[in-house]
A and B are shown apart, each in its own frame.
Chain A
């Protein structure tokens, strides 16, 4: 531990051997190598179990026949974080913002500039929904990477296969630790139903957001164009007769495909990310997880941004229809 402390001090201090700030010194390199060796040793000594990867979310408890799943708990947790965060930030608002208020105002200004760059000043009506989708998905996706999200939970008997467990007693509580060894052919082992699972890994969440997005697009189109908006889908008096009817059918199918595309894009990205993290942690624990955590941070941000941005674009396209396709 003394050696580790010394090395850490040297790494933080930057070393005295004539190195400007920011470069990797000799002791810095040594520190990184020692860290990798220690983590590699831990990886060999403490293997990680491959969890049972299930598409549907696992129920944790039930309230009167309605099963509360772990993704629902994670959604509530995101909502709690957002509500409490908003209350804390807006407690003492100043005219000239400082500190956290400044940060939040910067974020909102970036979003507002984005919305106005696409939709013009009339686009401000889209801002609440688009910004809410973005902020909720961002917080929800990033919280899903936190430790404990797919790993701490209830022990259940596995359907097939499964792992052994090891019981330890910490502070008087009995805690079961899932071991990496799988049970034999005909025994039933154990698996973990984690308490929280990233909200977008549940297809229900993604489908709900996609439905909200597409239905609000139709509402916005109807508000802007009146009943002429529905002539996009059903057009009896079109100049080309039957061709317009077929085009209308294609437009209808395209709207339904948007629902599928929105939900599956978000679900696929976030669920695949979670599976990737679990499998990478199983293959080489503690080491390989680091770059994939970085990837997950990026993917979480991009998927939140894309969902909100596409909603914005479709709403904007719905307000002026397929007439003049040019924007100023």
Chain B
């Protein structure tokens, strides 16, 4: 009996793959908010480093998205 699990696979790939980066980005921004709260004058530098960290964390979610797209459309 053949069931086409492609759609399920693609959904699971991106769904589970976005859990980790979501939590990671939340932690990053929380740390950045606390740092800015303690030292508002350093806000631009903190912001720049925060954006950098967010981009790294989001790259993992993008890998999961690419796998989901490959499963669905290739």
Binding site for B on A (CB under 8 A): 53-55, 261, 264-265, 267-269, 271-272, 275, 302, 306, 309-310, 313
Q: B23-31, B33-41, B57-65: which lies at the A interface?
A: B57-65
Residues in B33-74 with C-beta less than 8 Å from chain A: 51-52, 55, 58-59, 62-63, 65-66, 69-70, 73-74
Binding site for A on B (CB under 8 A): 51-52, 55, 58-59, 62-63, 65-66, 69-70, 73-74
A54 CB contacts on chain B under 8 angstroms:
73
A275 CB contacts on chain B under 8 angstroms:
69
The reply to whether A268 and B73 contact each other, CB–CB distance below 8 Å, is: no
The reply to whether B62 and A269 contact each other, CB–CB distance below 8 Å, is: yes
Alpha-carbon separation in the docked complex, A264 to B70 (Å) = 12
Q: Which of A271, A306, A310 has the most B CB atoms < 10 Å from its CB?
A: A306
Alpha-carbon separation in the docked complex, A317 to B55 (Å) = 18
The reply to whether B52 and A268 contact each other, CB–CB distance below 8 Å, is: no
A302-B55 CB under 8 A given contacts A264-B66, A268-B65, A275-B69: yes
The reply to whether B73 and A53 contact each other, CB–CB distance below 8 Å, is: yes
Would you list 15 pairs from A and B whose C-beta atoms are within 8 A, ordered by A residue?
A: A53-B73, A264-B62, A264-B66, A265-B59, A267-B66, A268-B59, A268-B65, A269-B62, A272-B62, A272-B66, A302-B51, A306-B52, A306-B55, A309-B52, A310-B55
B62 CB contacts on chain A under 8 angstroms:
264-265, 268-269, 272
Minimum C-beta distance from A89 to chain B (A): 28
Count contacts between A and B, CB distance < 8 Å: 38
The reply to whether A272 and B55 contact each other, CB–CB distance below 8 Å, is: no
Minimum C-beta distance from B18 to chain A (A): 12
Alpha-carbon separation in the docked complex, A99 to B13 (Å) = 50
A55-B55 CB under 8 A given contacts A264-B62, A265-B62: no
The reply to whether A55 and B74 contact each other, CB–CB distance below 8 Å, is: yes
| Chain B residue at minimum C-beta to C-beta distance from A267 | B66
Alpha-carbon separation in the docked complex, A272 to B69 (Å) = 8
B69 CB contacts on chain A under 8 angstroms:
53, 55, 271-272, 275
Query: Which 9 pairs of residues, A with B, have the shortest CB-CB distance?
Result: A268-B62, A265-B59, A268-B66, A306-B55, A53-B73, A272-B65, A268-B65, A55-B74, A265-B62
A264-B73 CB under 8 A given contacts A272-B65, A309-B52: no
B51 CB contacts on chain A under 8 angstroms:
302
